[in-house]
Amino acid sequence: MLGLILSLCVVATGTGPFDTVLDDWTEVQVFPDNHIVLIGCTVCRNNSSPGMDGEFSQRTQGWSGCSDGRNDPHFIFKSGVSNSECNAALEAAGAIAFNQFPVAYAVERMQVEEAVWEDYLDGSKVMVAVRWIDENGEVRETAFERFFEEQSVGRNGEELIKEFTPHYVYHGSNELNEDVNYGCLVCQQDCSGGLICNNTGPCCKPVPVMRPDWDLIPEPGTSVTMVIYVMPER
């Protein structure tokens, strides 16, 4: 699989993992020595999808993913690379799953009042960023979570709107969903319908109240690169 992944790569700009920008949403590149994966994506905006219009929502579909998945209409950062190829690329970069389970298990466990450790997806810690070329021809890179705001509760119970602050880990559980490929790359909650999740809560709960910041996200139609930095485990 890795040989197939590497053969798909065509570098649009740059020569290495820290400055390469892919201009084709079907391209993916792996830098095993640097523990970095680059995935070509296109910015999309389907306002019929929950929360896509900039309003706060508790949507369960990821904000980024692959076009071969069921959640394809809901992604802002969408890749033409298959979800399985993206998973193989992450593994080639050193990502390891410590605890994974299919969506069917999560649905079952959500009915149980008390959570246990096994209800949390876990694996290699990752950082996710988006890289693109701006209108001045300069390479830009921004942490994925900076494109989203989260509705939270302040110290005294007041409503607080802040930058989304997730804890991202690789888990690769979408490979276990035999009946449905959900296609998500990065999930905003502990959801096993993708490859990377925010595991601050167990089995999809709580679902963050979020909205995309379209003042920061590159214009729809822009080619961007999803950059995933894998923390190596030694």
What span, in angstroms and rounded, lies between the C-alpha atoms of 202 and 175? 19
Residue 2 clears pLDDT 70, i.e. is over it: no
How high does pLDDT run on average in the chain?
91
- Chain segment 63-106, per-residue pLDDT in tens: 999 999 999 999 999 999 999 999 999 999 999 999 999 998 88
What span, in angstroms and rounded, lies between the C-alpha atoms of 143 and 212? 13
Omega before residue 206 within 30° of 0, cis: yes
Q: What is the pTM of this model?
A: 0.91
- Chain segment 29-67, per-residue pLDDT in tens: 999 999 999 999 999 999 999 999 989 999 999 999 999
Q: Which two tokens stand for residue 44?
A: 């999309």
